[in-house]
Amino acid sequence: MAARFGQEFGRLPDGVWQAPGRVNLIGEHTDYNEGFVLPFAIDKTARVAVAVRPDSTVRLLSTYGDHGMVTADLGSLDAASAKGWTKYPLGVMWALQQQGITVPGVDLLLDSNVPLGAGLSSSHAIECAVISALNDLTGAGLEPEEMVLATQRAENDFVGAPTGIMDQSASLRGSKGHAVFLDCRDQSAQLVPFETEPAGLVMLVIDTNVSHSHADGGYASRRASCELGAEVLGVKALRDVRMEDLEEAAGLLDEVTYRRVRHIVTENDRVLQTVELLASAGPGSIGALLDASHVSMRDDFEISCAELDLAVATSRANGAIGARMTGGGFGGAAIALTPVTSEQQVRAAVVRAFEEAGYTAPDIFTVTPAAGAMRIS
Ligand code: GAF
């Protein structure tokens, strides 16, 4: 990375930082409802090599895609004119400026092996690598919780995606062999041991190659339904609705809003149950909760799609102990918690099922919980 940076920019970088993508084990769309999530950082990362410049120019280059060098001026960062992946680093710089941090001009080279548009948060991986670099280079001394909020601001107000805080929390606060149990109301977090190998399991990711964007309408409309539900029920956020309140809520809400609310309330409950089960009985015990989460997203929140449903059903029929779509939905990836002994069967069956359905071939790979963002040189 440093050598490539040298070729492109004619000098060495000041450092190289990396940040991972994430898989969400369970707790979908609960983050912006101030609820619970249980994601883990994965062993696929975005890396940025960065050198500070003496002026206010930013030069951005990536090793993938065909974008060429993009130049911007820090004095006039503009969301409307930022294109493609450059929205993410520029959005982070903009967000830091908004909170009064002086961002220096930089030359920046990006490399990433987080699949794009797969629901594994390739965009937050970039943002978290960039904010880690700028935090170190400026000496701003931001805590992870502050970096989480700054990247959320970049996503919401610069990129234009009304997302919550889960993805960047996993990327910044992840730890090898652990999932991050996060309370999205106050950002308190607990690392929960989650290792598949000792349990004879693998976590398969099935990237359907149906690409999605959180800046599209589906994500925002689900968020709006949740806000409406909270307003009608008279609570600050759906986090405050309990399982036993659901019956009464049914009488107060229209049918669609009720189902959206039911997903959030039951999903929060499933996160709590998953955390308890992981502690008492290990990863082999959480299959039914993963399945129930998928059904809730498919039927109540309506964020799945035919390809995700096929990936989930086929995995389960061929030996996975639990499976669900992961991430924002409307495409992207499913996860299938699978005994090592069934891995090949699940892989082959999913590929065959996609072929028979006439869908684009999926990409299937395993992930393990990995470390969060860090400086690597
Ligand atoms: C996307 C968002 F970025 C997260 O904040 C979260 O809402 C997720 O969708 C759904 O759980 O990844």
Cα(224)–Cα(210) distance, integer angstroms: 24
Query: The tokens of 24 are what?
Result: 């969400």
Mean pLDDT value of segment 6-24: 97
Q: What is the pLDDT of residue 126?
A: 98
141-190 pLDDT, tens digit each: 999 999 999 999 999 999 999 999 999 999 999 999 999 999 999 999 99
The ligand 1 atom at the shortest distance from the C-alpha of residue 119 is 12
Q: What is the pLDDT of residue 197?
A: 98
The answer to whether residue 216 scores a pLDDT higher than 80 is no
Q: Transcribe 194-209 into DSSP letters.
A: --SGGGTEEEEEEE--
Q: Transcribe 274-318 into DSSP letters.
A: HHHHHHHH-GGG-HHHHHHHHHIIIIII----HHHHHHHHHHHHT
Contact present, 193 and 205 (Cβ < 8 Å):
no
316-356 pLDDT, tens digit each: 999 999 999 999 999 999 999 999 999 999 999 999 999 99
Residue of 53, 65, 64, 122 lying closest to 93 (CA atoms): 53
Q: What is the pLDDT of residue 240?
A: 98
Instruction: State in Å: Cα 220 to ligand 1 middle.
Output: 11
Strands 106-112 and 57-62, bridge-based pairing: parallel
Strands 374-375 and 178-183, bridge-based pairing: unpaired
The helix/strand count (H/E) of the chain reads as: 11, 12
Averaged pLDDT score across all residues of the chain = 97
Region at 89 (left for phi over 0; alpha for psi -120 to 50; beta for the rest): alpha
The separation between the first and the last C-alpha atoms of the chain, rounded to the nearest angstrom, is 10
Q: What is the pLDDT of residue 167?
A: 98
The answer to whether residue 266 scores a pLDDT higher than 80 is yes
Instruction: State in Å: Cα 176 to ligand 1 middle.
Output: 21
The answer to whether residue 212 scores a pLDDT higher than 80 is no
Residue of 121, 62, 130, 64 lying closest to 96 (CA atoms): 130
Please classify residue 56 by burial: count the beta carbons closer than 10 Å to its beta carbon, then call 0-12 exposed, 13-18 middle and 19+ buried: middle
274-316 pLDDT, tens digit each: 999 999 999 999 999 999 999 999 999 999 999 999 999 999 9
Instruction: State in Å: Cα 4 to ligand 1 middle.
Output: 33
Amino acid, single-letter form, for residue 31: D
Residue 2: band (very low, low, confident or very high) from pLDDT cuts 50, 70, 90: very high
Cα(166)–Cα(164) distance, integer angstroms: 6
Q: Transcribe 217-233 into DSSP letters.
A: HHHHHHHHHHHHHHHHH
Mutate which of 25, 37, 159, 163 for ligand 1? The one with the most ligand atoms within 8 Å of its CB, which is: 163
What value, to the nearest 5°, has the Cα angle with vertex 118 and ends 112 and 121? 60
The answer to whether residue 215 scores a pLDDT higher than 70 is no
- Ligand 1 neighbourhood includes 28 CB (under 6 angstroms): yes
Contact present, 289 and 296 (Cβ < 8 Å):
no
Q: What is the pLDDT of residue 109?
A: 98
The single residue of 31, 107, 167, 300 carrying the catalytic annotation is 167
60-85 pLDDT, tens digit each: 999 976 679 999 999 999 999 898 99
Residue 111's φ and ψ, nearest 5 degrees, are -135, 145
Mean pLDDT value of segment 108-115: 96
Q: Which residue has the tokens 């889960």?
A: 166
The answer to whether residue 103 scores a pLDDT higher than 90 is yes
- Ligand 1 neighbourhood includes 155 CB (under 6 angstroms): no
Contact present, 165 and 184 (Cβ < 8 Å):
yes
Region at 142 (left for phi over 0; alpha for psi -120 to 50; beta for the rest): beta
Q: What is the pLDDT of residue 251?
A: 98
Residue nearest to atom 2 of ligand 1 (CA): 163
**Which residues touch 73 (CB under 8 Å, ≥6 apart)?**
56, 57, 58
Instruction: State in Å: Cα 56 to ligand 1 middle.
Output: 33
